[in-house]
């Protein structure tokens, strides 16, 4: 079934399906259809069916999909049927807000380590996690075998911090700094930048 690689654009939609399905589950909805799901998230029913069919046959003709079952399958596919420990680099305004965010743990992610280079930040405890100095970063991340990092440091230092993270074995980086990172092929980067999103909308305003 998994003969040829599934395009990244499909992978990008799976988390959105999962988000909507988990939301349905919370509201007690146990069965849904590609039509209903599609209307909720603004994607065509055919698209959803085709995407899911890449991984197997999860639905029942005439009936639709079992929500708990599909949630379970998507969690397996996306590998969030486990807990991923993450490192957070940069305990500033944004870093703190992220460290306190409960949404992560509800979806298979845990902020396990926090690092900062500012001696005044080091030693602070954020959401029960002590802030460590960046001088300990590489070694500590290696010891904990952490593969995911969130980067909330100033743009000027983002690349150099990234280089250290890679040295420490990190394979996935969620970067909040407004700069494109250079990484090896086996390291994945995703970007979160509100300015980019805002500019994408002002284009369409008068």
Ligand X SMILES: NC(=O)c1ccc[n+]([C@@H]2O[C@H](COP(=O)([O-])OP(=O)(O)OC[C@H]3O[C@@H](n4cnc5c(N)ncnc54)[C@H](O)[C@@H]3O)[C@@H](O)[C@H]2O)c1
Question: Site residues (CB under 7 A) for DNA?
Answer: 7-10, 33-35, 44-47, 49-50, 52-53, 57-65
Q: Is residue 91 at the binding interface for ligand X, with CB under 6 A as the rule?
A: yes
Under 8 Å between Cβ of 111 and 130: no
Question: What is the nearest approach in angstroms of ligand X to the Cβ of residue 168?
Answer: 13
Contacts with a second copy in 147-176 (CB under 8 A)?
A: 147-148, 150, 155, 171-172, 174
Q: Judged by CB, which is closer to DNA: 9, or 201? A: 9
CA–CA dist 37, 158 (Å, integer) = 38
If binding means CB under 6 A, how many residues of this protein chain bind ligand X? 27
Question: What is the nearest approach in angstroms of DNA to the Cβ of residue 135?
Answer: 40
Question: What is the nearest approach in angstroms of a second copy to the Cβ of residue 46?
Answer: 18
Q: Judged by CB, which is closer to a second copy: 61, or 204? A: 204
Q: Is residue 39 at the binding interface for ligand X, with CB under 6 A as the rule?
A: no
**Cα separations (Å) of 167 from 14, 65, 88?**
30, 43, 16
CA–CA dist 48, 28 (Å, integer) = 22
Residues in contact with ligand X, shown as a per-residue x/- string from 159 to 188 under the rule CB under 6 A: --x--------------xxx----------
User: Residues interacting with a second copy, by CB under 8 A?
Assistant: 11-12, 14-16, 18-20, 23, 40-42, 77-80, 84, 86, 93-94, 96-98, 100-101, 103-104, 107-109, 147-148, 150, 155, 171-172, 174, 178-180, 188, 190, 192-205
């Amino acid at each position: 079934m998994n003969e040829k690689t599934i395009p990244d654009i499909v992978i990008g939609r799976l988390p959105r399906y999962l988000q909507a399905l988990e939301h349905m589950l919370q509201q007690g909805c146990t069965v849904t259809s590609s039509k209903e799901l599609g209307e909720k998230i603004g994607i065509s029913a055919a698209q959803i069916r085709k995407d899911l069919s890449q991984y197997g046959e999860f639905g029942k003709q005439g009936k639709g999909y079992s929500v708990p079952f599909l949630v379970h399958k998507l969690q397996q596919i996306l590998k969030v049927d486990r807990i991923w420990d993450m490192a957070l680099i940069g305990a500033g305004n944004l870093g703190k807000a992220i460290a306190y965010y409960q949404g992560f743990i509800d979806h298979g992610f845990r902020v396990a380590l926090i690092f900062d280079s500012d001696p005044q930040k080091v030693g602070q405890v954020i959401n029960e996690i002590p802030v460590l100095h960046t001088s300990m970063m590489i070694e500590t991340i290696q010891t904990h075998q952490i593969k995911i990092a969130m980067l909330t440091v100033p743009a000027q230092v983002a690349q150099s911090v990234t280089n250290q993270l890679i040295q420490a074995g990190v394979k996935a980086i969620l970067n909040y700094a407004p700069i494109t990172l250079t990484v090896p092929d086996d390291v994945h980067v995703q970007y979160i930048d509100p300015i980019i999103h805002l500019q994408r909308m002002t284009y369409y305003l008068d």
